Chains A and B, each alone.
Chain A
Amino acid sequence: MATHGGDEVSALVLDIGSHTTRAGYAGDDSPKAVFSTSYGYVPHRPPPEAMDETGANGELIRQPRASTTTYLGEQGPNVWRPNMVVTNPFSEGILTDFAPIPHIVKYAIVDSLRCDPTEHPVLVTEPTWNTKANRERMAEIMFEDLQVPAFYIANSGVLNAFAAGKGTALVIDVGKSMASVVPVVDGFVLRKGCANSTIPLLVRAQAYSMLTQPTPHREGISLLPHHLISNKQAVDPGLPPRFTYREDRASQTTDTWRTWAEHRELDEWLANVSAVMDGGWNEQIAQTRPVKQYEFPTGYNTFFGADRFLPGEVYFNNSHMAAPDLPAPLNSLLNTSLGACEPDLRAQLLSNVVLTGGSSLLSGFSERIVNELTRSYPNQRIKLHAAGNITERRYGAWLGGSVLASLGTFHQLWISKEEWQEHGKSIVGQRCK
Chain B
Amino acid sequence: MAASAADVRDILSLPGPSNVASTTLKKSSSSMAKKPEGISRELYSLIGNSAPTLTAQFAKPRLKQRPDLGKGKVKWEQQEFSNSARADGLKLKHWVKVGPDNNKEYPFAKYNTTTTTYTYSLDEYTRLLEDPEWTKEETDYLFSIVKEYGMRFYIISDRYDYPGGPPRTIDDLKARYYSICRKLLRTRPWAGDEATRQQLSNSYAFDKGGHHTVFALLILTMPLKEREIMRKDYIDHLLKRTPEQIAEEEALYIELKRLEQTERRFAKEREELLKTLAGIDSGLATISIEDDAANTFFGGLDKIKRSKKRGDTMEIDSPISSAQFSLAPAHSLRKTTTAKQVAQDLQLCIYRFETPAAAPNKAAHVPVHLRSTKPSIPKQNLAPKIYGALEELNINHQTLIMPTRNNLQQQQMLFDATAALIETKRVVDRVDQEIRVLKARLSGRKSEDITDAGGEETQEDAAVESQTQAAEESQAGPEGDAEAEGELDAEGEGEGEAEGDGDGDGEVEPEVEAENEDADGDAEMEDADAEGENEGGDEVDGEVEGEDDGEGDLDDEELEQELEQRGDDEDEDEEAEGEVEEDEGTIDNASEAPESQVGRRRKRGFSTSSVDTSGTMNTRASVKRQRNG
Contacts and interface: CB of A to CB of B under 8 A. Distances in A.
Nearest to B94: A9
Interface in A61-87: none
B239 A344 contact: no
B154 A345 contact: yes
Given A2-B107, A343-B236, A408-B107, A121 B154 contact: no
A379 B246 CA distance: 8
B109 interface: yes
Interface residues of A, number: 38
Nearest to B112: A412
B159 interface: yes
A150 B112 CA distance: 19
Contacts of B152: 185-186, 188
Interface in A183-215: 185-186, 188, 190-193
Interface stretch (A229-237, A254-262, A279-287, A413-421): A413-421
Contact of A411 (B92, B235, B236, B242): B92
A8 B95 contact: yes
B92 A150 contact: yes
Interface in B111-169: 111-112, 148-149, 152, 154-155, 157-159
Interface in A247-278: none
A5 B152 CA distance: 23
Interface stretch (B82-90, B258-266, B352-360): B82-90
Nearest to B170: A342
B242 to A, nearest CB: 8
Interface string A131-174: 00000000000000000011000000000000000000000000
Majority secondary structure, A binding face: mixed
Given A379-B246, A408-B108, A414-B90, A192 B158 contact: yes
A346 interface: yes
Contacts of B236: 343
Contacts of A121: 92
Contact of A416 (B88, B149, B154): B88
A377 interface: yes
B236 to A, nearest CB: 5
B75 interface: no
Contacts of A343: 232, 235-236, 239
A150 B90 contact: yes
B67 interface: no
Contact of B93 (A1, A9, A193, A409): A9
Interface in B231-278: 232, 235-236, 239, 241-243, 246
A433 B112 CA distance: 16
B111 A409 contact: yes
A188 B170 contact: no
Interface residues of B, number: 33
A85 B24 CA distance: 89
Majority secondary structure, B binding face: mixed
Contact of A188 (B85, B90, B155, B239): B155
A191 B157 CA distance: 10
Contacts of A118: none
A54 interface: no
Contacts of A192: 158
B73 to A, nearest CB: 18
B88 A418 contact: yes
A81 B107 CA distance: 54
Most chain A CB within a 10 A radius of its CB, from B93, B154, B159, B232 = B154
A409 B232 contact: no
A375 B246 CA distance: 12
A408 B94 CA distance: 10
Contacts of A188: 149, 152, 155, 158
Nearest to B237: A343
Contacts of A9: 92-94
Interface in B59-111: 83, 85-86, 88-90, 92-95, 106-109, 111
Nearest to B157: A342
Interface string A1-19: 1100101111000000000
Nearest to B110: A409
A372 to B, nearest CB: 13
A411 B95 contact: no
A379 B241 contact: yes
Interface in A388-421: 407-409, 411-412, 414, 416, 418-419
Most chain B CB within a 10 A radius of its CB, from A121, A149, A186, A409 = A409
Contacts of B90: 149-150, 414, 416, 418-419
A190 B158 contact: yes
A7 B158 contact: no
Contact of B239 (A191, A380, A411): A380
A433 B239 CA distance: 31
A17 to B, nearest CB: 25
A190 B148 CA distance: 15
A216 interface: no
B155 A190 contact: yes
B215 to A, nearest CB: 13
Contacts of A46: none
A290 interface: no
Contacts of A378: 241-243, 246
Nearest to A186: B152
Most chain B CB within a 10 A radius of its CB, from A342, A408, A419 = A342
Contacts of A344: 232, 235
Contacts of B89: 416, 418
A9 B108 CA distance: 13
Nearest to B91: A149
A7 B154 contact: no
A419 B145 CA distance: 22
Contacts of B92: 9, 121, 149-150, 411, 414
Nearest to B86: A412
Interface in B14-68: none
Given A9-B92, A192-B158, A412 B109 contact: yes
A123 to B, nearest CB: 13
A344 B243 CA distance: 20
A195 to B, nearest CB: 14
Nearest to A416: B90
Given A342-B232, A344-B235, A10 B93 contact: yes
Nearest to B111: A409
A1 B170 CA distance: 41
A8 B158 contact: no
A419 B88 contact: yes
A346 B239 contact: yes
Contacts of B93: 9-10
Contacts of B109: 412
Nearest to B153: A342
Contacts of A2: 107-108
Interface in A313-347: 342-346
Given A150-B90, A345-B154, A416-B88, A7 B239 contact: no
A4 B462 CA distance: 86
Nearest to A410: B108
Contact of B83 (A185, A193, A412, A433): A412
B42 to A, nearest CB: 57
Given A121-B92, A344-B235, A409-B112, A186 B241 contact: no
A342 B154 contact: yes
Interface in A415-433: 416, 418-419, 422, 433
Contacts of A190: 154-155, 158
Given A9-B92, A343-B232, A414-B90, 15 more contacts: A2-B108, A7-B107, A7-B108, A8-B95, A121-B92, A150-B92, A185-B152, A343-B236, A344-B232, A345-B154, A375-B243, A411-B86, A412-B108, A416-B88, A422-B88
9 contacts: A2-B108, A8-B95, A121-B92, A191-B158, A343-B235, A377-B239, A412-B109, A414-B92, A433-B148
